[in-house]
Amino acid sequence: MVTASTRDAGGAPDAGGAAVSARAVAETVTDPELPMLTLADLGVLREVSEAGGTVIVSITPTYTGCPAMDAMRDDLVRALHGAGFPDVEVRAVLRPAWSTDWISAAGRRKLAAAGIAPPRAAPLPVTGPIPLTLGPPARPVRCPHCGSAQTRLVSYFGATACRSLHRCGACQEPFEHVKEI
Amino acid sequence: MSFDNAYEAITEQNDTRWAFGTGFADPLTGVDTTVPAGVGAADLALYSLMLGDDALIMSHRLQQWCANAPELEDEVALANIALDLLGQARLLLSRAAAADGGGRSGRGEEGRGEDWYAFFRAEHEFRNVRLAELERGDFGELIARLVVFSTWRLAVAQRLGSSRDPVLAAVAAKAVKEITYHRDYAAQWLVRLGDGTQFSRERAQAGLAAIWPYVPELFTAHEVERRLAACGAGVDPAGVRGEFDGVLAAVLSAATLEVPDVAPRAGVAGRTGRHGVHTEAMGDLLAELQSVARADPGATW
């Protein structure tokens, strides 16, 4: 099996030619809910490999119930078929669980440019009981429009599983935020 | 993929982006579902059903709040929580299907996947705790139920993250991230209601009283849960009671509410949800959940 992961892409250009070019195609597929991000920006594209003429794309779900997963599968298959890879298999990789920390620096810039506040560092895993938050969040999200930190959480839950709703106290604009998980 | 109006978006031909119906890809496609050595496959399947049914049935009750929540933001929040739980249910039911391969006849040549478990089992085959299925009450009852359910499930999921079954461990590790938000949402609402007006406080306290008889059941291990815990693949819920009590004490204290003084609701000869013995509410819930799939059992849409 030939593999082109983020870490070793290009490591074996002759043997991995198909995997590398399939990866280049897979990387251009965008997220159906956040179309400014590619699946590579989002960090859900884990591995593209090739075995016996079949391209195997491994992706990690963002949220377990996110219906965009099925759309991502279809979009990946369509893009790879269009690029001349007739046999494509999309596999789920569940471990380790996706984290917003995997969104690339470019992805964060694109989110901010689209008026969506990018995630900060995800909370570190704890060994004891997970802390309960009863008050407003300790770290206010910066407004993607004016940069103010005087923002208020409106709701943990937004139009998609990954986004929360906020309002800026300085420019008064409402905005969305990709919440940390 | 961009449209001038919503009508164009929903009438697009050959659109595969809409999430309804059956016929989804198996969420465990490509995942190694080999049952680990030393873990009974039948026990693992039943245990996965228990955790999956909790999520599926609670999700269904939350979905019934669509168009009934007090504010748009809460409408969206409850739908999101329902969606997260439905996602957990899909993975867990698929895990059960993979562990329980073969056995009883399925619903046709496709065999038994998540849909078979959700739509074609009878009431006594569902293993969810009764708390999840209770008739939808008012918003106070919903929030009380969600605080209790999320606190309990989060504590179990956190421990299940180190299960010897890599599939359960992975599902649990992801679920922890999601349920943390569910619990915070519900707990913050309980504080707002309890420490709000006289009216909201009464409703919150009444909501707690309505669901509290079903709390002891959450911590009463079924034999399958005990066996799975003993071999390192599952969690004995009795072990999370202390953590649950601590979290509830903190929330109720901030909410100026009290732990209800009500007797536990007994099962039938000691048998409760985990044994497939349910309340009257379960039949109606399943009729709604299953009727469309059962009307045309071969259909995919």
What's the structural domain count of chain A? Answer: 2
Helices (H), B110-257: 114-119, 130-133, 139-160, 166-194, 198-211, 215-218, 223-230, 241-254
In a domain, residue A105? The reply is: no
Chain B contacts of A165, Cβ < 8 Å? 73
Quick check: is A100 in a domain?
Answer: no
- Structural domain contains residue A99: no
**Confidence class for position B106, pLDDT limits 50, 70, 90:** very low
Report, as an integer, the average pLDDT of B271-293.
96
Contact status of B251 with chain A (Cβ, < 8 Å): yes
Kindly report the number of other CB atoms within 10 A of residue A99's CB atom: 19
Kindly state the average pLDDT of the residues B214-225.
Answer: 97
Whether residues A60 and A123 fall in one domain: no
Mutation site for A-interface testing, chosen from B78, B92, B181 by largest number of A Cβ within 10 Å: B181
Closest to A60 (Cα-Cα) out of A40, A44, A42: A44
CA nearest B255 in A: which residue? A134
Work out the mean pLDDT of chain B and round it to a whole number. Answer: 90
User: Given a cut of 70, is residue B21 above it in pLDDT?
Assistant: no
Pair (A13, A77) in one structural domain: yes
CA A47 to chain B, closest CA, distance in angstroms equals: 12
The pairing of strands A151-155 and A116-117 is unpaired
pLDDT of residue A30: 94
Taking the C-alpha atoms of residue B285 and residue A107, their distance in angstroms, rounded to an integer, is 42
pLDDT per residue as tens digits for the range B194-206: 999 999 999 999 9
- Residue B149 to residue B147: CA distance in whole angstroms: 6
* Residue B18 confidence (pLDDT): 52
Contact status of B55 with chain A (Cβ, < 8 Å): no
* Check: complex ipTM more than 0.90: no
B-chain residues near A68 (CB < 8 A) = 17
Q: A119 and A161 share a domain? A: yes
In a domain, A101, yes or no: no
Q: What is the C-alpha separation between A179 and B10, in angstroms, rounded? A: 28
All domains in chain B, ordered by first residue: 37-99+118-295 (1.20.1260.10)
Q: Quick one: A123 and A76 in the same domain?
A: no
| pLDDT tens by residue, chain A, 181 residues | 555 554 444 443 444 788 899 999 999 999 988 999 999 999 999 999 999 999 999 999 888 888 788 889 999 999 999 999 999 999 999 999 999 999 999 999 999 999 999 999 998 888 888 999 898 777 889 999 999 999 999 989 998 889 999 999 999 999 999 999 9
Full residue range of the structural domain in which residue A168 is found: 115-128+136-178
- Average pLDDT value for residue range B165-175: 96
CATH of the domain at A56: 3.30.300.130
Helix orientation angle between B41-63 and B281-295, rounded to the nearest 10 degrees: 100
**Do A88 and A142 reside in the same domain of the chain?**
no
Judge contact between B235 and B155, C-beta under 8 A: no
The length of chain B, given as a count of residues? 301
Using a CB–CB cutoff of 8 Å, tell me whether B188 touches chain A: yes
Residue A11: what pLDDT? Answer: 40
Interface test with B, best of A57, A130, A164 (most B CBs within 10 A): A130
User: Is A83 a member of any domain?
Assistant: yes
User: Is A108 part of any domain?
Assistant: no
Dihedral (CA of B224, B227, B233, B237) sign: positive
- In chain A, % helix, strand, coil (3-state, to 5) comes to 25, 25, 55
Question: Where is average pLDDT lowest: A77-81, B26-30, B251-255, B274-278?
Answer: B26-30
Query: Are A147 and A88 in a shared domain?
Result: no
pTM of the complete model: 0.90
| Cα–Cα distance for residue pair A107/A110, rounded to 1 Å | 5
What distance lies between CA A63 and its chain's CA centroid? Answer: 10
Compute the nearest-CA separation of B270 from chain A (Å).
31
How many contacts, defined by CB atoms under 8 Å, are there between A and B?
131
A84 and A140 housed in the same domain: no
Taking only the tens place, the pLDDT of each residue in B43-85 is 999 999 999 999 999 999 999 999 999 999 999 999 999 999 9
Contact indicator for B143, B193 with CB cutoff of 8 Å: yes
